[in-house]
Structure 1
């Protein structure tokens, strides 16, 4: 039996401490599950060929979630409180990659996330396409469970 890598189109996003409907767990795309190791260069006296690179800290970009606009969304109410009223309530988020049986085969637990941007796509009378909303969240780090 050979190994087949999982496909990336079956996933869901759960917001801990926010009561959400199943529609609030569905997104078109998720990006930003990335970690970079920042380094600092240190010059050594007498060594002119190179500088030593010392690891400093891990750096995580913003998490970007896109979906067709959802009316009466608890997640969007949470975003509006943060962006409009500065009522910042960080939550943990689980991004789950699902297998054929709709069970999670891998979960990224995103810690201490809160919204920094909310965008609704452009309207155009000459095109027939879905209205896409984009949520951009900052977070401290993620761990794979």
Structure 2
């Protein structure tokens, strides 16, 4: 984002889209929340002889949290059809998922390319006649890793 006369303004977190490469329709890019774009190291502790004040922590491997997507339930979704094939017929076809942070001109300023994602969990919010709320579906995806692209 270009610097303005008043300084730099960080991008907003509510303008984004989620694309499932090879599946989905125009409505399948709209989600209300994305979480799980997290990477961290597993560590292994090493105790050195003669050094009792601390132990060394060494990086072992990276690990990625599940990607969690939330949206109002769609009645015609290719993404959910893809999920149901995995859950009902055990047909797992990993796909690339692109999460793009957009600017005010609707162009991507940062993109997370999630590699070999597959559906791990699909949940629908509670149906309750005493509440006035939409039905929200939550989709949790496992994946190998992600790459950050500009």
Give the TM-score of the pair, scaled to structure 1.
Answer: 0.97
The 4+ residue runs of structure 1 with deviation greater than 3 A are none
Q: How does 1:1-145 map to 2 (within 5 A)?
A: 1=5, 2-18=7-23, 20-145=24-149
CA distance in 1, matches of 2:30, 2:99: 10
CA distance in 1, matches of 2:105, 2:136: 28
User: Considering only aligned residues, what root-mean-square deviation do their CA atoms show, in Å?
Assistant: 0.8
The alignment of Structure 1 onto Structure 2 pairs a total of residues equal to: 144
Deviations 1:19-41 (A, max 9, x none): x2111000010000011111100
CA distance in 2, matches of 1:64, 1:30: 6
How far apart are residue 42 of structure 1 and its match?
A: 0.8
How far apart are residue 134 of structure 1 and its match?
A: 0.4
* Structure 2: segments with no counterpart, 5+ residues: none
* Structure 1: segments with no counterpart, 5+ residues: none
SS of the equivalent of 1:76 reads helix
SS of the equivalent of 1:144 reads strand
